[in-house]
Structure 1
Amino acid sequence: MYAQKKLNAISLAFYGLFCLHPIILSAFMVAPLIVSIFSSKLHISYASSASLPINRAQFKNNQISASLPKDSEPLDEESSSIEDDLLKDDMDNAISSETNVHDYIVTYGDTLSNIINQYDVELADIIQLIRCDRRLHNLHIGQKLSWTLNNKHQLQHLTWERSHGEIRCYERTKKGFKVSLSLKMDLFQRKITTVIVNTSFINSARLAGLSTKEIQAVIKSLQWQIDFRKLRDGDRFEILTMYAMLNGKKQKSELLGVRLHNTNKNYYAIRAVNGKFYDRSGSDLTSRFMRFPTVKKYRVSSSFNLRRPNPITGKIIPHKGVDFAVPIGTPVLAIGDGEIIVSRFSSTAGKYVAIRHGHQYMTRYMHLNTLLVKVGQKVKRGEHIALSGNTGRSTGPHVHFEIWVNNQAVNPLTARLPCMEKLTGKNRRNYLDKAKKIILQLNKK
């Protein structure tokens, strides 16, 4: 009996302990939490009040860093402009008198899309334009396109010169594009204008009666043969133009040929059917360009984008070139013949080089490690101008490469670069026959 009572007492004790177990367990679980909260309050009370803003700033910087492309330029703030290095004088203004206004002569393999897309125009605009007029699918060599972009880099206006007698114009509307004007011109006249250089070609040409577009055409036709900035007083131009008349007014002018007499030497540029200019023997006057500034193509770490937003702030920070991720010390090449106009250090671009090619084209190469050229030096296509690096504002070793046409940046990966086109067979014979007649006219004065 006694043994049974003792057993019951022990069982009751264990039962009581079992009933208290959840309470004891909860207490052990809650206690650390209370201590943790109390410690956090103590930490906050003793911490500096400035610590929270610092942590937020660090978090924001970490966000930005995670959004940046590697081996490129940082996007956290807009780089200070280095475009003051672009040489802009009367000659440059003559080539590009209006911002976002472009013109182009159609050549072999061109389509409307690949001509305009190099200026970062949205494909939707091009599609809408072609829907407006399906004939734009069929561009022909030698035809001329002129277009204007608005401040949002949208296509605003396009002019298509289909032939000597027809010009078609397209205007942006709220619903897309529409053909706003179509001119039929049948009456053409020819005129030879003599320009004798006095102080500058630009002023002398204007005094002789040439329009801005006619001056532009002359400069472009001879840009690979001579430097217009180095002409001398007394140098003489004979310029043959053909222009159309509509209702008694001059509507359209086309340069047919130019002769320059400079220091006892004659330079000729004669327009062929394809819209390009050749010399009196039929040799192409265009300087050929390479596509990339390195021996081989490297990974693109950041693309051309004139509407590039900062990933955090949303602010538009245009990226006017292409970044190639290359190892430090990689040879950087001039993509075409030209003259060095910049070779120096910038806090943003690092060590960089700018080259003028003719009068329409300029290229820039940035974040270099070693400069191998000096200002005023002439370089040839493929010549080593620098070694790549990671200087200036940069997130890793790379070369930032830009191509500018008429003082405006274009996409280096899609830019319609100058190329040499040989005249052969019947085309060459027809050109030489035409050139003889034009040269006779130019030499009469």
Structure 2
Amino acid sequence: MQQIARSVALAFNNLPRPHRVMLGSLTVLTLAVAVWRPYVYHPDDVPVVKTVVLEKDEVHSLLPEDSEPIDQAPQEEEAIPQDELDDKIAGETGVHEYVVSTGDTLSSILNQYGIEMGDISRLAAADKDLRNLKIGQQISWTLTEQGDLQRLTWEVSRRETRTYDRTDNGFKKSSEMLQGEWVNNLIKGTVGGSFVTSAKDAGLTSAEISAVIKAMQWQMDFRKLKKGDEFSVLMSREMLDGKREQSQLLGVRLRSSGKDYYAIRAEDGKFYDRNGTGLAKGFLRFPTARQFRISSNFNPRRQNPVTGRIAPHRGVDFAMPQGTPVLAVGDGEVVVAKRSGAAGYYIAIRHGRTYTTRYMHLRKLLVTPGQKVKRGDRIALSGNTGRSTGPHLHYEVWINQQAVNPLTAKLPHTEGLTGTERREYLAQVKEVLPQLRLD
């Protein structure tokens, strides 16, 4: 080997100088490429940027139809302007309430809020009666920090309340029977600085004030009541050992600028006017004139396969050409219309006190904050602004400040009582109206 090396060196030295320079340069370049190449190219000539090991059940999260890049931070939370009417009842932060209506089942109610079918099945196993919810009953629930169902409460009747707490093996049922006396109370007042303060001064609790606002939300913007406006509230309260245990709103009368507004509770738990006409305003299911392809579904538990963190997708993405007219799904007031970070051009509309809808990644805004809109009004043109991988509309529905699935959520619709139900309701109105006096 040494003899070969000496022969090569002797031959190299005997070459003309220009040849020695050229051969030396080629040798250095070849060595540089040999050293550098393994770090730039994969052996199969496929560029390597980063290697991520995924579990089998995580691969579906990387499908290209997801409109939002999942390897980035989750969609930033866009704040909705708040006021005192949005205050949570003390000690009940995170509690969601729902009144059972026609066609509801335990599964249909909880599924629209992203609660997994496994938890719903375990609940039903803990109490088969949950499969027979009745119109007008109320259920409420809380979630864990991971978004799983923690506790569900079912008000079976005025006297019976059942609670289901999460355990390692499912849900544990407990029941409470109250034997108090129900008494009707009339609470009257005059608006001073604000309705909330005036109602508290008149003797209503925070929970009762929330019930009044919810019943009247489609007729009245409580923030715009004037000093001197009057209200009367008929509340049925259960007294047990001299203490108030629970209450139920029976009727409300509110006089503003000389005009009277009413909301009276029917047997189905909903509120109607004096003629039995529903107070809720109808909603469109989709925020466009026609339905577009869904490119990313609602998923409150979406997990980022790269970071392992929960990056919830709180709405639905519709793939559509830029410039498609975006419609308000219901009557309401625009509370946000601006450009905001990852959301791009973004609109939020409040419908009453319970519902809020959001529209993101827009190209052009056609409304301004504070503007009143009607169902079907054009509010924007769709686009591709903010953090977006392609033209689409991100659409969200929030109920009581909690995101729900826009495709399955129980949205309000204009309705009224008919037949026997209406006759029974009108008979009830004759009893309630005389009690809602203002003087």
> Does structure 1 residue 295 correspond to structure 2 residue 289?
yes
User: Which residue of the partner structure matches residue 246 of structure 1?
Assistant: 240
Q: Within 5 A, what are the aligned runs for 1:100-111? A: 100-111=94-105
- Relative to 1, partners in 2 of residues 1:318 and 1:46: Cα closer, same or farther, differing over 3 Å? closer
Map 1:121-136 onto structure 2 (within 5 A): 121-136=115-130
* Structure 2, unaligned runs of 5 or more: 1-27, 53-58
The match for 1:364 among 355, 358, 363 is: 358
Mapped pair 1:410 → 2:404: yes
2:149 equivalent to 1:155: yes
- Measured against aligned partners, the alpha-carbon deviations of 1:351-377 in whole angstroms (never above 9, x if no partner) come to 121101001110001111221111111
Aligned-partner residue type, residue 72 of structure 1: S
Matched residue, 1:274? 268
From the CA coordinates, give the structure whose radius of gyration is larger: 1
Provide the C-alpha distance between the structure 1 equivalents of 2:314 and 2:131, rounded to a whole number of angstroms. 29
- What residue identity is the alignment partner of 2:433? I
- The 10-residue stretch of structure 1 (196-205 or 130-139) with the greater mean CA deviation from structure 2: 196-205
TM-score (norm 2): 0.86
Hey, what does 1:229 align to over in structure 2?
223
Stretches of structure 1 that go unaligned for 5 or more consecutive residues are 1-37
Q: Percent identity?
A: 52
Q: Which residue of 1 aligns with 2:32?
A: 42
Q: 2:67 aligns with which of 67, 72, 81?
A: 72
Contact 2:327–2:379 (8 Å) recurs in 1? yes
SS at match of 2:112: helix
Secondary structure of 2:435's match? helix
Correspondence 1:378-393 to 2 at 5 A: 378-393=372-387
- Out of 340, 345, 349, the residue aligned to residue 346 of structure 1 is 340
Which amino acid in 1 is paired with 2:32?
L
- 1:163 deviates by 2.1
1:419 matched residue in structure 2: 413
Shift of 1:186: 5.6
Q: Give the direction of change, closer, same or farther, for the CA distance of 1:44–1:105 in structure 2 (3 Å limit).
A: same
1:165 aligns with 2:159: yes
Could you list the runs of 4 or more consecutive aligned residues of structure 1 that deviate by over 3 angstroms after TM superposition?
Answer: 38-42, 44-52, 55-60, 68-71, 94-99
2:300–2:313 contact (8 Å) kept in structure 1: yes
Q: Does 1:191 align with 2:185?
A: yes
> Aligned pair in 2 of structure 1 residues 155, 250: CA closer, same or farther (>3 Å)?
same
Q: Deviations over 1:207-228 (max 9, x none)?
A: 2221121011000010000101
Q: 1:284 to 1:96 in 2, by over 3 A?
A: farther
Distance 1:41 1:214, change over 3 A: farther
Q: Distance in 2 between matches of 1:391 and 1:47?
A: 40
**Residue type of the alignment partner of 1:436:** K
Task: Summarize the alignment of residues 322-337 of structure 1 with structure 2, pairs less than 5 Å apart.
Answer: 322-337=316-331
* CA distance in 1: counterparts of 2:90 and 2:134, whole angstroms: 25
Match of 2:301 in 1: 307
Provide closer, same or farther for how the CA distance between residues 69 and 187 of structure 1 changes in structure 2, counting only shifts above 3 A.
farther
AA of the residue aligned to 2:140: S
Normalised to the residue count of structure 1, the TM-score between the two structures is 0.84
Shift of 1:83: 2.1
Compared CA separation, residues 97 and 344, structure 1 to 2 (3 A):
farther
Per mean C-alpha deviation after superposition, the further-off stretch among 252-261 and 89-98 is 89-98
Higher helix share: 1
Q: Is the 8 A contact 2:298 2:316 kept in 1?
A: yes
Residues of 1 paired with 2:389 and 2:383: CA distance? 11
Residue aligning to 1:93: 87
Report the Cα distance in structure 2 between the residues aligned to 1:125 and 1:246, rounded to whole angstroms.
34
Give 1:112's aligned residue: 106
- Structure 2 residue 86 is the aligned partner of structure 1 residue 81: no
Q: C-alpha displacement at 1:51, in angstroms?
A: 9.7
| Paired residue total | 403
Distance 1:135 1:150 in 2: 24
Distance across 2 between alignment mates of 1:275 and 1:192: 19
Distance 1:95 1:322 in 2: 30
Amino acid at match of 1:120: G
